[in-house]
Amino acid sequence: MFSKVPSPLLRIRRLSRRATSEFAKATGISSICVRLLGMYGPFQDPTQFSLAPRSVHAALNGKPPNLESIFLGNADDAVDLCYIKDVARAIALLQTAEKLQYDVYNIGSGRLTPNRELVEAIKRVVPNFKMDLPPGIDKVELAIFRKSANSLLRLDCSCVEIREILHEPCWSNESIGNS
């Protein structure tokens, strides 16, 4: 079970926002906090606890995926997946914007992608890929995570108006393996 991980991640999230705010106050230098979740793409560490990098690396290497310690790894569990090129573009746009309205920006696709859809997308590119996820939703991990994370599974791009600079992702999750 992976239920111990979200708590430290959420603490880091809160601490980084506070540190960013304190830095700005102490130095007078404008700063923002950028939240990223569900990134996938080239050169990603396949040992991360996310299903996306592990399954993609396994498929590309012709090996069975290691599902040990996968966080939210059931077929109907879903997270906001965002291709790394969209993440990079959003960060670049934030860095070069003349003026930003908020101190926190969530970067994500704004759409929950169920794990079964991720696996189907991988199988379209690597037809021989075999991956059997446990059915349904991991209710224990989801409950633990939601208790302290609220909407962290799907970074609500609209709540902090990331769309003021990045209107829509260029790379849809359907393009997995085509870039």
The total of structural domains in the chain comes to 1
Range of the domain at 121: 6-175
Q: Distance between CA atoms of 17 and 7, rounded to whole angstroms?
A: 16
pLDDT surpassing 70 at residue 168: no
The phi, psi pair for 109, rounded to 5°, reads -80, -20
The number of angstroms, rounded, from the C-alpha of 10 to the middle of its chain's C-alpha atoms is 14
Helical ranges in 1-79 per DSSP H: 6-27, 51-61
Nearest-CA neighbor of 104 among 16, 6, 170, 39? 16
Number of helices and strands in the chain (H, E): 5, 6
CATH number at 128 reads 3.40.50.720
pLDDT at 155: 45
User: Chain-wide mean pLDDT for the chain?
Assistant: 76
Packed helices 115-125 and 51-61: angle between N→C axes, nearest 10 degrees: 20
pLDDT surpassing 80 at residue 150: no
Residue 101 maps to a domain: yes
Which tens digits make up the pLDDT trace of 54-78? 898 899 999 988 888 887 888 988 8
Residue 151 maps to a domain: yes
Residue 112 maps to a domain: yes
pLDDT at 158: 44
pLDDT at 66: 86
Residue 1 maps to a domain: no
Residue 131 maps to a domain: yes
Residue 29 maps to a domain: yes
pTM for this model (two decimals): 0.69
Residue 161 maps to a domain: yes
